[in-house]
Amino acid sequence: MKSPLILGAMVLVASACANQTPEQQHEVACISGSFMGAVLGGAAGSLIGGGVGRDVAIAAGSVAGGYAGQRYSCG
């Protein structure tokens, strides 16, 4: 279920970059890197624990993944 959603988001980002200046492409890359990092971090966090601990792990994974994605994609 998650794979088609992620694939769709990647196609949307790729098509949005088609007719943009390099500065706009960089900004889209930064935003999409942050978004994808947060999604993947949240998914990884959902594999940990249960109950409230799982909710905390999802939130922490999303924040950490968003930060890592932003750092990676924005340079």
The whole-angstrom separation of Cα 72 and Cα 53 is 28
Tell me the C-alpha distance between 33 and 39, whole Å.
10
pLDDT tens digits in sequence order for the chain, 75 residues long: 456 666 666 666 666 656 778 788 788 888 888 999 999 999 999 998 888 999 999 999 999 999 999 898 887
Distance of CA 18 to the CA centre of its chain: 20
In degrees and rounded to multiples of 5, residue 21 shows phi and psi of: -70, 165
Distance in angstroms (rounded) separating the CA atoms of residues 36 and 62: 9
